[in-house]
A and B are shown apart, each in its own frame.
Chain A
Amino acid sequence: GAVVSQHPSRVICKSGTSVKIECRSLDFQATTMFWYRQFPKQSLMLMATSNEGSKATYEQGVEKDKFLINHASLTLSTLTVTSAHPEDSSFYICSARDLAGGHTDTQYFGPGTRLTVL
């Protein structure tokens, strides 16, 4: 149980285009999903917390107009990187919290999306 999928797993795009990443909880309902970014050999950096049916809460320094988050259902959250630039190239990982599980605050991670902006 507690499986999270992410799509696409890898994307290469041109500078200035927008990229949408989907995060789905496959076998549980996730009222809260998290979006992280990780640069090589660095720790996970929380970008935003997404609650179903409400606006996402962004961490300091993360531009909400550039990283659009939509959590329209209990099993789906999307992150759209708008007008991507090479410095946005990174590993984007989502996680979902399974409140019905044995560990109430456990975050289960999707496999990640590697974004390369040319």
Chain B
Amino acid sequence: GQNIDQPTEMTATEGAIVQINCTYQTSGFNGLFWYQQHAGEAPTFLSYNVLDGLEEKGRFSSFLSRSKGYSYLLLKELQMKDSASYLCAPLDSNYQLIWGAGTKLIIKP
């Protein structure tokens, strides 16, 4: 079957760094997306990894290891506005996104 495993909730302090891990099992693999979703809003695109390694984009970086079925999203210099859910979504062999419940990140001052 297809499965996404992320922590349900994480808490971090403003200005700090947090890493959100994701392990996945899919039927085929065509890359992995990270989305941010604020409460009551639609998801917004953060990153896409298809090759192993680290992709850096400003304060956010995403890492992928295809052999391990593992990815993480690294958020640096946390701001209060980063409080949101972070969704790890791999793309399966049919190019369909597989969604988990996401990780709710709470930022404290």
State whether these chains interact.
Answer: yes
Which A residues contact B (CB, under 8 angstroms)? 2, 6, 41-46, 49, 91, 93, 103, 105-112, 114
What separation, in Å, do the CA atoms of A103 and B97 have in the docked complex? 14
For residue B70, CB closer than 8 A to chain A, the reply is no
A residues near B97, Cβ cutoff 8 Å: 46, 107
B residues near A105, Cβ cutoff 8 Å: 30-31, 48, 91, 95
What separation, in Å, do the CA atoms of A49 and B96 have in the docked complex? 9
Residues 1-58 (chain B) with a chain A CB within 8 angstroms: 30-31, 33, 35, 40-45, 48
A44 touches B96 (CB 8 A): no
Chain A to chain B contacts (Cβ below 8 Å), 22 pairs: A6-B42, A41-B101, A43-B87, A43-B99, A44-B43, A44-B99, A46-B96, A46-B97, A46-B99, A91-B40, A93-B42, A93-B43, A105-B30, A105-B31, A105-B91, A107-B45, A109-B35, A109-B42, A109-B44, A111-B41, A111-B42, A114-B40
Smallest CB–CB gap between B34 and chain A, Å? 11
What separation, in Å, do the CA atoms of A46 and B91 have in the docked complex? 13
A residues near B31, Cβ cutoff 8 Å: 105
Indicate the size class of the contact surface on chain B.
20 to 34
B45 touches A108 (CB 8 A): yes
Residues 68-109 (chain B) with a chain A CB within 8 angstroms: 87, 91, 95-97, 99-102
Smallest CB–CB gap between A16 and chain B, Å? 27
Smallest CB–CB gap between B55 and chain A, Å? 11
What separation, in Å, do the CA atoms of A106 and B33 have in the docked complex? 8
